[in-house]
Amino acid sequence: MYCVREVTKDLYWVGANDHRTTLFENIHPIPRGVSYNAYLLLDEQSVLFDTVDWSACRQLLENLEHLLGERALDCLVINHMEPDHGASIEELLRRYPNLKLIATEKAFMLMRQFGFHVDGHELVEVKEGDTCTFGGHTVTFIAAPMVHWPEAMLTFDRANGALFSADAFGSFIALDGKLFNDEVAFDRDWLDEARRYFTNIVGKYGPHVQKLLGKAAGILDQIKFVCPLHGPVWRSDLGYLIDKYDKWSRYAPEEQGVMIAYASMYGNTEAAAQALAARLCEKGCTKVAVYDVSNTHVSYLISEAFKYSHIVLASVTYNLGIYPVMHNFLADMKALNLQNRTFALVENGSWACKSGDLMQKFIDEEMKNMTVLNERLSMASSLHADKAVELDTLADAIMDSMRT
Amino acid sequence: MLFQTTQDHEALRAKLRAFAEREIKPVAFTLDQGNQFPDEAVKKLGEMGLMGIPYPAEYGGAGLDMLSYAIAVEELARVDAGAGVILSAHVSLGSWPIFAYGTQEQKRKYLVPLARGEKIGAFGLTEPNAGSDAGGTETTAVDRGDHYVLNGGKIFITNAPKADTYVVFAVTTPDIGTRGISAFIVEKGWKGFEFGDHYDKMGIRSSTTAELIFNDVKVPKENLLGREGDGFKIAMATLDGGRIGIAAQALGIAQGAYESAVEYAKERVQFGKPIGFQQAISFKLADMATKLRCARLLVYSAADLKERHEPYGMESAMAKQYASDIALEVTNDALQIYGGTGYLKGMDVERMYRDAKITTIYEGTNEIQRVVIASHILGKAPKSEGGSSSRPKKPAPVTGVRKKILFKGDAQESVDALVQALKKDGYDFTVGIPADTPIPQAERVVSAGKGIGPQKNMKLIEALAHAAGAAIGSSRPVAETLKYVSLDRYVGMSGQKFTGNLYIACGISGATQHLKGIKDASTIVAINKNGNAPIFKNCDYGIVGDVNEVLPLLAEALGTGKKQSAPPMVKMKRPQPPRAEPIGPRYICGGCGYEYIPELGDEDAEIAPGTLFEKLPEDWVCPECAEGKHQFIRA
């Protein structure tokens, strides 16, 4: 059964929702699913903007057949070649032998690399600032390298104000019938997953996102719809979304608050983390989020690390090193280019306590523009009452650094 | 070609040997034991015209060749290594730079009395952070129009404080590495030029070695040696020649030990014949003699090359390295031949064994000599990474970020300001800990350095410790040499580490090893009369003043009454260390996200670390995906 929604006159959402995939990119859990968005413009020519994951290809085809009727599909614009959007290209090429492809040079290269038989079709290679007319609609292409692949571009339709934004402004969570941002409680139900999507998928490329936001600022007043490849279409409150993107891509925290991530084998480090959380709340900072790194997928940890201004890492010493899961969290923060955070460290070791020094070294040497507070809490096996003063000192140091 | 010295050379040798045997040998043991400079002998050497052997007669020298000079050092060292180095440091280091780089004026004023032996010369290059690597020089000379103002200090300076004339190296242009170093002629007695420790050395104890301290020393413009920025070049050229002197000294020490061992081996009878005729000993002597001959030929040949203005840098390094290496072997074998007798004080081989060691260390360690030799063989390494010589740096104080608030002027006002600041920081002086609290557990420590003066002044420290509610500590020399306190009370990297809150350093200049022992202190207070002492760059609060005056005032201000027992220590907050400033922006590739970091450069493309993105060649491409420079955006 077809499942389409009208975005605006002559423009339709023809994508699909996916609740069966458990791991996005085979790494990030998506318990609430994801949508693969594709958009069909019915002008003098019929134009499809991007395709969908292979698992959703049948739905896309049914949607296209429903809307096209007897018409053929004339053009396919590929903004992003990652297979969750590009995998269905080959099938479309077979079904529509006269299909014209419009993409960047690198996108065509990737199509060939992935084994799609594009040669023999009309291929239009576009770059920044090029335009293309389909009848009443003329679109302009905007290069978006490394957001988050090198071939990526955005397409802007001046006639209806639709910006096809590729992976930018996307989010996890299946649409499940809703399409527009004003049809969901975004800030309440979607923001955490949108942040988790951005930070884990695009987080590393903040400077390129900033560059893109700079370009978007020039046409902001003309944008009526932001049509991303995942998640809702934005037709209101663009300022809210851009503000979030600006913060994330500048690595500026959204909240003055504390994320406490602990690695605890038998609950002793956990107890210290909990005691610290309670102290912070007592002192007036209730924006405290506590996570056990061992049973929290790192993509959630990354998302929270981008959200809060302060991060407490509490880790046991394991094989004279940092507890592996904590180490993995640190490595991921580095990989995703997280910057400008204040860290506090809690270390535990029963015979040779190393984790604090090693975490400090990692943060100082491997990460950018991070501050590690001097007040480190060290414990041997468990936190005893005589360390209450130090625990308090650590909490005070965190509170102090939040004020300055 | 017979590789032989001339008759004149041998006549000079005979003259020197007779002098050394007569004047120095009888007192060599006394000088060694007493750490005494042979004033008499040095004076006589001057009178004999031997303090300026290689310099022309017009400058007061003897007008002899380099080989004669090497022989002179050798002969003195054969009897007393200390006497050898006095001559070597005077001629090669103290006088030669003036001879080679000085103006006519400077030569007349300084070289003539040096060469005549009326004055003694010395050379000030080494600093705590600039040993083999002169690029770390921190002594500064600031241009003030008609004079420079010299500040800083030098360590391990041979002939100081006896010497009258010092060639001193200082930074005139900061942050450009060795090109910013200049050489100056500095006279003893100038205001602000003082001497620190006279070192208690393992060997060469008849030579004097001390620290130079410069506190706003005015150096007239005309005492700049060479041009500004020539300092490093002058230092290196001087050391090239200086190595011949040290090589000759090592040769002399080994020769002396060898001769002594031969004599003993002929006298000492075991198993019915002199031990020299036991094969074990005869082979040793054969090896010693062979090594000596090798060393002598290397030393004399290097001296001869220098005399003939042939390149001699590599050869002098080989001579210094080899002669000193074998000096250790030969003195070791000599002592072994002596057996238990040689292990006793008073035996010349015992002294020579100790004396020899310095020759593999000073005027370029033997490791550095090998670097010099290898560089002559291999040329410059293809890529230079790191190293202070090639890249400027700003060393952080050893103790990290400190407030460095100095109180100067009236002592009472300074003390009041200090006490007010400490109280504001949260120190409660109504409480205290016992003076004998172990240093690692102490919340506060009052520490004495050598600047405290005589032992009776420890009363001042005790009174201050009580008033400050602190335990008593000290610098290493105060515990180890002066023995004012027990060894477990000295603070430093090798001693006890202080990790508490308040550290009050009294008369402590701040040797690096001491500073490393207090780097975790929350607050460091320094009281010292030398405003340029390193401790002031490493303290939160400082009073420049005399401990005799400041300590009683401070004790009074903190309260001399009874103290309550202090509660468990709460560690006070320390400021964050500063971040290293990036040298330039990073750029990110639009083709793959690779980040170009100027500090790292791009090794595979032969882009040196420190290359800014703008300075990359136009045809440089991303090392990961081969996109061109234009695809990069600024991070």
Give the model's pLDDT for residue B390: 37
**Tens-digit pLDDT profile for residues A112-145:** 999 999 999 999 999 999 999 999 999 999 999 9
Confidence at A177, pLDDT banded by 50, 70, 90: very high
> Shortest Cα distance from A298 to chain B (angstroms)?
22
| Least confident range of A85-94, A260-269, B194-203, B296-305 | B194-203
Residue B363 annotated as catalytic: yes
Residues of chain B neighbouring A150 (CB-CB closer than 8 A): 590-592, 625
Confidence at B547, pLDDT banded by 50, 70, 90: very high
The conformational region for residue B606 under phi > 0 = left, psi -120 to 50 = alpha, else beta, is left
Taking residue B272's Cβ as centre, other Cβ atoms within 10 Å add up to 6
**Tens-digit pLDDT profile for residues B329-338:** 999 999 999 9
Q: Is residue B318 within 8 Å of residue B300, measured between CB atoms?
A: no
> Shortest Cα distance from B499 to chain A (angstroms)?
13
pLDDT over 50 (residue B387): no
pLDDT over 80 (residue B382): no
**φ and ψ at B526, to 5 degrees?**
-120, 135
**φ and ψ at A212, to 5 degrees?**
-65, -40
pLDDT over 90 (residue A384): no
Residues of chain A neighbouring B571 (CB-CB closer than 8 A): 375, 390, 393
Cβ-defined contact of B570 to A393 (cutoff 8 Å): yes
- List the structure tokens of A76: 């396919």
For range B530-537, the mean pLDDT: 88
**Tens-digit pLDDT profile for residues A316-334:** 999 999 999 999 999 999 9
Confidence at B396, pLDDT banded by 50, 70, 90: low
- Mean per-residue pLDDT over chain B, rounded: 91
Cβ-defined contact of A150 to B633 (cutoff 8 Å): no
Give the model's pLDDT for residue B528: 92
Give the model's pLDDT for residue B383: 55
Distance CA B98, CA A391 (A): 64
Residues of chain A neighbouring B576 (CB-CB closer than 8 A): 371, 373-374
Q: Which of B363, B581, B595, B627 is catalytic?
A: B363
A109 inside 8 A of chain B by CB: no
B573 inside 8 A of chain A by CB: yes
Q: Which residue has the tokens 């903004």?
A: A79
Task: Look at the alpha carbons of B307, B309, B310, B312 in this order and tell me if their dihedral is positive or negative.
Answer: positive
Q: Which of A210, A364, A374 to probe by mutation at the B interface, max B CB count within 10 Å? A: A374
Q: Is residue B326 within 8 Å of residue B249, measured between CB atoms?
A: no
**Tens-digit pLDDT profile for residues B248-293:** 999 999 999 999 999 999 999 999 999 999 999 999 999 999 999 9
Confidence at B393, pLDDT banded by 50, 70, 90: very low
Cis peptide before A80 (omega within 30 of 0): no
Residue among B576, B579, B588 whose CB faces A208 most closely: B588
Give the model's pLDDT for residue B578: 64
Reply yes or no on domain A255-403 having CATH 3.40.50.360. Answer: yes
**Tens-digit pLDDT profile for residues A307-317:** 999 999 999 99
Give the model's pLDDT for residue B386: 45
> Shortest Cα distance from A4 to chain B (angstroms)?
35
Cβ-defined contact of B591 to A145 (cutoff 8 Å): yes
What domains can be seen in chain B, in order of their start residue? 235-378 (1.20.140.10), 405-565 (3.40.50.1220), 587-634 (2.20.28.10)
Give the model's pLDDT for residue B571: 73
Residues of chain A neighbouring B573 (CB-CB closer than 8 A): 374-375, 393, 397
In terms of CA atoms, which chain B residue is nearest residue A207? B635
Give the model's pLDDT for residue B513: 80
For range B328-348, the mean pLDDT: 96
Cβ-defined contact of B593 to A204 (cutoff 8 Å): yes
Residue among B568, B573, B591 whose CB faces A150 most closely: B591
Cβ-defined contact of A208 to B568 (cutoff 8 Å): no
Q: Is residue B536 within 8 Å of residue B406, measured between CB atoms?
A: yes
pLDDT over 80 (residue B573): no
pLDDT over 80 (residue B574): no
End-to-end C-alpha distance for chain B, whole angstroms: 70
For range B210-230, the mean pLDDT: 94
pLDDT over 50 (residue A231): yes
User: Which ipTM value was assigned to this complex?
Assistant: 0.81
In terms of CA atoms, which chain B residue is nearest residue A377? B571
Work out the angle at residue B147's Cα, subtended by the Cα atoms of residues B142 and B151, and round it to the nearest 5 degrees: 40
pLDDT over 90 (residue B134): no
B588 inside 8 A of chain A by CB: yes
Residues of chain A neighbouring B593 (CB-CB closer than 8 A): 146, 204-205, 208
Closest among A306, A311, A297, A293 to A191, alpha carbons compared: A306
Distance CA B476, CA B126 (A): 21
pLDDT over 50 (residue B392): no
A397 inside 8 A of chain B by CB: yes
A371 inside 8 A of chain B by CB: yes
Give the model's pLDDT for residue A67: 97
For range A147-162, the mean pLDDT: 96
Residues of chain B neighbouring A386 (CB-CB closer than 8 A): 568
pLDDT over 60 (residue A399): yes
- Mean per-residue pLDDT over chain A, rounded: 95
In terms of CA atoms, which chain A residue is nearest residue B580? A369
Give the model's pLDDT for residue B531: 85
- List the structure tokens of A99: 């299909």
Give the model's pLDDT for residue B609: 85
> Shortest Cα distance from B605 to chain A (angstroms)?
23
Confidence at B599, pLDDT banded by 50, 70, 90: confident
Q: Choose which CATH entry (3.30.450.20, 3.30.360.10, 3.60.15.10, 3.40.50.1820) describes domain A5-250.
A: 3.60.15.10
Residue among B570, B576, B590 whose CB faces A150 most closely: B590
pLDDT over 70 (residue B575): no
User: From residue A209, how far is each of A1, A154, B30, B319, B585 by CA, in Å?
Assistant: 37, 12, 79, 64, 18
Residue among B568, B571, B590 whose CB faces A208 most closely: B590
B582 inside 8 A of chain A by CB: no
For range B235-260, the mean pLDDT: 95
Percent of chain A scoring above 70 in pLDDT: 100
Percent of chain B scoring above 70 in pLDDT: 96
Question: Do the bridges between strand A371-372 and strand A377-379 make them parallel or antiparallel, or are there none, so unpaired?
Answer: unpaired
For range B438-465, the mean pLDDT: 92
Q: Domains of chain A: which residue ranges?
A: 5-250, 255-403
pLDDT over 80 (residue B384): no
